Amino acid sequence: MPKTVFEKIVKADRKKIFELATNYENFQKIIPQYYPSVRTISVRGNVSVVEEHLRIVGRELVMMVKHVIDEPVLHEIFIIGGDAKGTHIITRYETISHGTKMTLEVDWKLKGIMKLSDFFGKPKISDEYSKIIDELIVIAES
């Protein structure tokens, strides 16, 4: 699947949306419809390894994820194991006059059934991931 780039404008300051979007440990509580399970394996400085279960396009992905955080401007996600191994997501946070601009670059690497479902509905996984980000934005703006 080709790399997808999308931008989101958030009517909240950069620190607020950054803290919410990088608090993956809390996703199980605030967006459980997408993250039924999140378990931190290790944390060293700004790098964390986390076991995540992500419900997307009608499937549950089980993944080992490395989060690299450069507060408050950058959050990189490397999926290092599981159903989407090799996926890389970069989120940049830029302060703008009326809030924050989030720029996301998503390069999905899918396996098995997910790869087939993506073949038949390419934009689906990117569209649904965009909806997850939209949910976080609604929370940040409230």
Is the distance from CB of 77 to CB of 7 less than 8 angstroms? no
Which residue in the block uniquely carries the two structure tokens 């404008």? 9
| pLDDT tens digit sequence for 2-36 | 689 999 999 999 999 999 999 999 999 999 999 99
pLDDT in the model for residue 119: 47
Confidence of residue 125 (pLDDT cuts 50, 70, 90): confident
Residue 24 has which token pair?
């993956």
Q: Is 20 left (phi over 0), alpha (psi -120 to 50) or beta?
A: alpha
Q: Domain boundaries in the chain?
A: 4-141
DSSP, res 87: -
CATH superfamily, with its number, for domain 4-141: START domain (3.30.530.20)
Helix axes 14-21, 123-141, angle to 10 degrees: 130
| pLDDT tens digit sequence for 40-87 | 999 999 999 999 999 988 889 999 999 999 999 999 999 999 989 999
Highest mean pLDDT: which range of 115-119, 123-127, 130-134: 130-134
Whether the per-residue pLDDT at 114 is higher than 90: the answer is no
Is the distance from CB of 83 to CB of 111 less than 8 angstroms? yes
Complete edge-to-edge strand list for the sheet that includes strand 99-107: 4-10, 99-107, 88-96, 74-82, 59-70, 47-56, 37-44
Integer Cα distance of 34 and 25 in angstroms: 13
Whole-model pTM: value is 0.90
